[in-house]
Structure 1
Amino acid sequence: MKIVQRSRKIIHIDMDCFFAAVEMRDDPSLRNIPIAIAGRSERSVVSTCNYPAREYGVRSAMSVKKALQLCPHLTLVPSRMAQYQQASQKIREIFSRYTQMIEPLSLDEAFLDVSDSSLCNGSATRIAEKIRQDIFNELQLTASAGVAPNKFLAKIASDENKPNGQCVIAPNQVESFVEHLPLKKIPGVGPKTLQKLNRKGFNTCADVRAADIKTLVRQFGKFGTSLYRRAHGIDDRQVETERERKSLAIETTLMEDIESFEQCMQVVEKLLPKFKERLSKVEDRQIKSQGVKVKFDDFSQTTVENSCDELQQGMLATQLHKALERGEGKKVRLIGLHMGFKSQQVVQINEPQLSFDLK
């Protein structure tokens, strides 16, 4: 399977522990102690933490209770979202000095396509260095960067030399870089998928590269094709300057764990009015699915999703019941509702079009 790609220059910029870094910048007394951005309740969840906290095993999405067990002297800092958004806007302004091809992924990371830039003599490596230096000089924050021929590799590269580092994968280095890449580093390969891959003898990209694509598709379905492409360093996705909303969700972490279906259904019913309100603001989007998310007291979670073209409240009870069955009696700490939307491109393709006789 020979796939020829146009050579591109993609940069992935990822801020280092962004929320925590803003807090440490604004309050120097926090710089050398373990801190986490989180509420003070034991049921709160860590948004992010600084590197001293990570040395104790504290991680994003971890419960505050667990974080304090790992690091009893952890300092909990309340979130200041307005300040993070303000810093993010300034970072984006810095990006725009170098290219208009910017795809924000969140407040603290983005893809940049500098393929056609003449700045720094057209060197993506130098551009990435300049961007990181500008961010530090103007905001006193550090960023890491990955430079590569495509988005997949650039994102992985940005994590190679964190914090405050940079990794460059030149086109002639792609083969050697991906060959021994652990599959767990491929975006989208979560713990369960990784277990399935490992059971079938796939641990690194080299294992996948040695397999026939038909075998991969037979064993893993559509994911097999994607896996084959990533293992060969192939990713033809463009940097999207305008990202369309693909979903809408609402969720709540409960003050106390609950376990009965009736209790959980009451939570769903309380979420519905706000969910409908948010849904009314995106009436231009066509619905393709709805789902119920449940996170259990051991932090495992499941989502039950079904196809539909409008919100079906009657389906929510069935979805919740199925989600609870998967929990096998575990108590529930979080419940959420989710709505998926059709791609605008798919919608346009499916609309009636003019036909022409091209004989």
Structure 2
Amino acid sequence: MDAFFASVEQRDDPALRGKPVAVGYPAARGVVAAASYEARRFNVRSALPSVTALRRCPDLIFVPPRFEVYRAVSQQIHAIFAEYTDLIQPLSLDEAYLDVTANRQAIATAWLTAKAIRARIIEETGLTASAGISYNKFLAKLASDHRKPDGQFAVTPDMGAAWVETLPVSRFHGVGPVTAEKMKRLGIETGADLRAKSMTFLSEHFGSSADWYHAIARGIDDRPINPNRERKSSGSETTFDRDLTDTAEIEAGVLRMAEDVWAWCEKRQEFGRTVTVKVKFRDFQQLTRSRTMPALVVTGAALKEASLHLIRSIYPVPKGIRLVGVTVSRFEVRSDDGEAELSLPLAGMVA
């Protein structure tokens, strides 16, 4: 989807159309969750601190996020996908891989299938989507950004490897900013540069990721579409308006995050054994405390209790805290007769 959260807001409020919009809060510690294309002209993008966004675009309009609306629209879009294929692998609310090989709608090409899906999306939601069409996930992902917004691009088998060579590695899915900077220091700035490096060189500098980088530099990606990919964790975090040292305020923030996570677990009926509390201090130093329970965490009260025990393990706080987060992971299927609620006190916490 194109600037999904911001586009939903512009769709629902005509006064926002054609204006630079950021979904988020303009607070000192706020960040941009999504930016309209009008805002992106000022280099305002997701994850940018709100104060920086306003400095770049003084006329920027902030609107608070409405995740329940975004989820509802996402469900509409996925229902459209399901008319064309059963092989759908969601990446997020606004993005997914589709394998249309089975050609359920008897459309002549994948190109025309993508056009049909995009037309249905705009007809039913009033929103635009972009598509990448190719013979593997890596290339389709790259192609999906190539004609944004409201466009599509195909990478055919005879052009895949050569096309990858022309692109900056910073655009590659799976190459984050830190890795891209490391590659730049090693003289790797394009796909061609990456392809020129031997497996020995890549293994020396990138360890277990060497095979992946060696393959994608040649346009190779054998990963299948996995419609049943399991969710590995559910988490929520918040950045405070000011650095906190008061334990009551810190714990109140942790409890709010635990409530958010539990709401997701309860709705999905997915439960995990591992609880993690994340803390980011005022100097951006990060710390985590985790505990794997002997039984699934199956009540909100149990999750809150575990989260409080974990946050209390860092007391007294050495410096102000700017962010806290709570995550549940190691999901397992709950037995028919349920499992015993976790038993405290906790021991063996791991940093």
- Aligned partners of 1:17 and 1:50 also within 8 Å: yes
- Using the TM superposition, give the Cα deviation of residue 181 of structure 1 relative to its aligned residue in structure 2, in angstroms: 2.1
Could you tell me which residue of structure 2 aligns to residue 130 of structure 1? 116
Aligned to 1:111: 97
- Kindly indicate whether the alpha-carbon contact (under 8 Å) linking 2:237 and 2:325 is maintained by their aligned counterparts in 1: yes
**Which residue number in structure 2 is paired with residue 206 of structure 1?**
192
Distance 1:34 1:268, change over 3 A: closer
Alignment partner, residue 166 of structure 2: 180
In structure 2, how many angstroms separate the alpha carbons of the residues matched to 1:181 and 1:319? Answer: 47
Match of 2:7 among 11, 21, 25: 21
Candidates 325, 330, 338, aligned match of 1:336: 325
Q: How many residues align?
A: 320
Change (3 A) 1:77 1:272: closer
Letter in 2 for 1:60: S
Q: CA deviation at 1:135?
A: 1.4
User: In the alignment, which residue of structure 1 is the partner of 2:50?
Assistant: 64
The aligned counterpart of 1:237 is 223
Amino acid at match of 1:336: G
For residue 193 of structure 1, what is the aligned residue in structure 2? 179
Equivalent pair of 2:80/2:117 in contact (CA under 8 Å): yes
- Report the counterpart of residue 346 of structure 2 in structure 1: none
SS of the equivalent of 1:194 reads helix
1:220 aligned residue:
206
Once the two structures are superposed, the pairs formed by residues 240-319 of structure 1 within 5 Å of their partners are: 240-258=226-244, 266=251, 270=255, 274=259, 277=262, 285=272, 287=274, 291-295=276-280, 302=286, 304=288, 316=310
Task: Return the offset for 1:150.
Answer: 0.8
Q: Deviations over 1:76-121 (max 9, x none)?
A: 2222333322222221122122112111222211111011216454
Q: CA deviation at 1:52?
A: 0.9
Residue equivalent to 2:349: none
* Pick aligned residue for 1:36 from 16, 22, 46: 22
One-letter code of the match for 2:59? Answer: H
Distance 1:301 1:152 in 2: 33
Judged with a 3 Å threshold, the aligned counterparts in structure 2 of structure 1 residues 214 and 256 are, in CA distance, closer, same or farther, namely same
Aligned-residue CA RMSD in angstroms?
3.4
Higher mean alpha-carbon deviation, 150-159 vs 136-145, is at: 136-145
8 Å Cα contact 1:293/1:337 also seen in 2? yes
Q: Percent identity?
A: 39
1:26 Cα offset (Å): 2.2
| Contact 2:28/2:51 (8 A) holds in 1 | yes
User: Which moved further from structure 2: 165-174 or 194-203?
Assistant: 194-203
Question: Is residue 2:129 matched to residue 1:140?
Answer: no
The code of the aligned residue for 1:335 comes to V
Letter in 2 for 1:244: E
In structure 2, distance between residues paired with 1:264 and 1:160: 45
Q: Structure 2: how far apart are the matches of 1:315 and 1:78?
A: 32
Tell me if structure 2 keeps the 8 A contact 1:304–1:319: no
Distance 1:52 1:66 in 2: 16
| Residues 180-221 of structure 1: CA deviation (Å, up to 9, x unaligned) | 221111222222212222222222222221222133112211
Determine the C-alpha separation between the residues in 2 that align with 1:122 and 1:151. 21
Q: Tell me if the contact between 1:41 and 1:64 (Cα under 8 Å) persists in the aligned partners.
A: yes
* TM-fit CA distance, 1:315: 9.6
> Which whole-Å CA distance do the structure 2 matches of 1:256 and 1:27 have between them?
32
Give the letter for the 1:215 counterpart: F
Give unpaired runs (5+ residues) of structure 1.
1-14, 345-359
List gaps (5 residues or longer) in structure 2: 298-305, 334-351
Compute the TM-score of the two structures, normalised by the length of structure 1. Answer: 0.76
Which residue among 90, 102, 115 is the counterpart of 2:76?
Answer: 90
When the two structures are superposed, what TM-score results if normalisation uses the length of structure 2? 0.78
Q: Kindly provide the amino acid, as one letter, of the partner of residue 229 in structure 2.
A: R
